[in-house]
Amino acid sequence: MMSRGLVFCIVLALLLTIIGSVPAFAQGPSLADIESEIDAVQWGVIYHQKDGCSERIEAMKLLVVLEIADKFVERAMVKYAEAGEVTDRLDVCLNRAVAWLERARALSEGTGFDISSDIDKAVRTEVLKEEVFGNRGWLSEGDMPWTGDSIGAYANCTTVDSYLEAIIARINLWLQE
């Protein structure tokens, strides 16, 4: 009788340990969240204090590349909404998004874009934008305004390239399915 209770406790402890060790982003992130997270990083770059023209130019290049990646995630959202499942076309869009995010990551390495102090303001801006879009009916059908809750998956991120690394990992979860 006591051994069954002990076995149950051990199994429960193992399950809780395994569940607790899985990163927050390993549980099927929604593409809408990922798209909004890219937007939040863009806002972080915008809000980040830039010293001189060269940093402003680097920020502009980075914003353009991030916007292209964002558009591929948006296309993937449309493909998923149309098919209701992961398709080859969705994979192509996500692979292209990852390629552009990798380019953005390469651009941001060594730039010193530490957006950790700006990310809260960036998230608030994106949440407000999504609320306005939702109220005006500008979001895609079935899309809900982003709440910013998924940004918790980025708790250890500080620089643009660390955020992008986490976003790429979240997209790769879709590509592994």
Span 98-149, pLDDT tens digits: 999 999 999 998 776 899 999 999 999 999 999 999 899 888 766 788 999 9
Per-residue model confidence (pLDDT) at position 122: 94
Per-residue model confidence (pLDDT) at position 84: 82
Per-residue model confidence (pLDDT) at position 46: 96
Annotated domain spans of the chain: 30-175
The DSSP code sequence of the chain is -HHHHHHHHHHHHHHHHHHHHS-GGGS---HHHHHHHHHHHHHHHHHS---HHHHHHHHHHHHHHHHHHHHHHHHHHHHHHHHSS--HHHHHHHHHHHHHHHHHHHHHTTS--B-TTTHHHHHHHHHHHHHHHHHHT-SPTT-----SGGGGGGTT--BHHHHHHHHHHHHHHHHT-
153 compared with 10, residue with greater pLDDT:
153
State the pTM of this model: 0.81
6 compared with 116, residue with greater pLDDT:
116
